[in-house]
Amino acid sequence: MLWETLSVVRDLPRLHEIASVMIRYGWGDLVRLLGIGGALERAGRVLHWQSTSEIAQLDAPVRIRRALEELGPTFVKLGQVLATRVDLFPPQWIVEFEKMHNQVPAVPWETLRPELVRALKGDPETLFAMFDPVPVAAASIAQVHRATLHDGTPVVVKVRRPGIESVIHADLRILDHAARLLESEVPDSRRYDPVRIVSQFRRSLNRELDLAKEARNIDQFRRHFDDDPLVKVPRVYWAYTSAHVNVQEEIVGLAGASPEKLRASGLDPKLLAARGAETVLRMVLEHGHFHADPHPGNVLFLPDNRIGMIDFGMVGMLTQVRRHQIVDLLHALIRKDEQELLQVLLDWSGDSVSDEDRLAYDVTELLQSYDDLQLKDVKIGALLNDVTALMRENDLLLPADLTLLFKTLITLEGLGQQLDPEFHMIDRVTPFVEDIIKQRYTPQALVARGGKTLREALEVVAGLPRDLARVLRDMRRGRVKVDLDLKRLDHFGQQLDRASNRLTMGILTASLVVGSSIIMTVEGGPQLFGLSLFGLVGFLIAFFNSLWIILSIWRSGKH
């Protein structure tokens, strides 16, 4: 509790900045709801509760996007993560989140150089034959410089922005508090699971902060494509790489080029679109480890119609079970199989389906809307958007590991159509799915699955007497427990827990004040400013405890 109080006090300036921006963009009601505005005003930080008439006329998605951009790197990244949650937000919100740009002013060289020297454990001018202090790219977390190794190899040096870690951690603490308050005070928000979104966001951001993690991702992708001369993944130079900096081979190619420019360079846009799609589909369906941001700037087109991939800060991972489910989903969509599609959605949703009959009807209606279309005319992006809209209308959440995948497939289809207007993603997906389905039913696969099932069944049968004996023994000793999930009492329990915490802290604070007062009257012992040191420490702890109690009461709106 004391640590929470100190965190709130430490983050007050940032809280004021966040609240001011949100109010200016017309989100004052949300600030009031979370209790941030009231707490800041009582702390002496006056807020102006009006937005400009120009901003007030903007649509809500535009206002939230502009507010997130103004709040800086953490919130820009949050917007990019929300852009993947097509199951939570309608299309107009996703369109705005997708506009969140990651380009920010570069850190001046004189500011960045000490950070780079610490990370490299030496001067960049000495460690490299050439180091360009002018960055080639600058993003919210890191910026990139060109360099040359002493053997003449051109490389890129990606270095983390100084001080970015403390800013991000402060913002994450604030977001975590806000998400918990939102779930507690606004029951309707629980269907969006804000605490889970912030937790997912924290993991994603911590991975991006660790540049060595990105380097390990690159190495893994290199291993996966060692046997494919048509795919180029940069090499990592581990002698220079750490959490704060990574050095990797520079890949030179065309990025985001028009079909005309590609043809003028001797490349075939249609072939590149097909190879790009097949590369990402291999990552998803075969490796279960995929590049989660294949936008035009991260996909390079190389001589001989090869594909180069860069920037592996955002990657997705799929378990074997999840890959099977994805194949089943795509197979159901391709074959327009209602029962198979319904089963996949039920597997993803678990116990959260409130009306299975309605879900089954919506699935049937969805597939019937594609009855008149030939397979080549079906757009996989539109189809996945329809699936996520169906889940949204039925209050179902898409599993977190699939949000990146859906977004990746939609982005990939858009990139393919930029290169080739006649590109059909479903034509590339179908052979992969059909091959994987066939492999499931080969004699070897059936024998392997049968053997695994038999082993699991034998283990259950063999362990049954032991488990039954344990249950009977626990029943005799009165150790059998029955768990009741009474969801309606959750909020009451949380309120009771907070009230008891405040009462306990109040008693402890009063005891500290009384005890410290007694100590002050006793002569001897260590002193500070002529007063008993132990007494002063007691009063200081009592002060912070009191501050925590006051802030928690203000935050709950009870005075």
Which of the residues are catalytic? 293
Calculate the dihedral angle through the C-alpha atoms of 192, 194, 195, 197, rounding to the nearest 10 degrees.
90
Instruction: Please identify which residue in the block is written with the tokens 């039913």.
Output: 441
Q: Where are the alpha helices (DSSP H) in 336-477?
A: 338-349, 356-368, 380-393, 400-419, 425-440, 443-476
Number of H helices, E strands in the chain: 24, 13
Q: Which helix (H) or strand (E) holds 317?
A: strand 315-317
Q: Distance between CA atoms of 202 and 184, rounded to whole angstroms?
A: 20
State the distance between the two ends of the chain, measured CA to CA, in whole angstroms: 20
Q: Which helix (H) or strand (E) holds 255?
A: strand 254-255
Q: Which helix (H) or strand (E) holds 248?
A: strand 245-249
Residue type, 137: A
Q: Distance between CA atoms of 160 and 165, rounded to whole angstroms?
A: 9
Q: Distance between CA atoms of 435 and 445, rounded to whole angstroms?
A: 13
Question: Between β-strands 315-317 and 289-291, what pairing exists: parallel, antiparallel or unpaired?
Answer: antiparallel
> How many residues are present in the chain?
559
SS3 47: coil
- Dihedral sign computed on CA atoms, order 117, 122, 125, 129: negative
Q: Which helix (H) or strand (E) holds 442?
A: none
Query: Are 279 and 412 contacting, i.e. CB atoms less than 8 angstroms apart?
Result: no
Q: Distance between CA atoms of 269 and 398, rounded to whole angstroms?
A: 34
Q: Which of 396, 367, 400, 360 is nearest to 383 (CA)?
A: 367
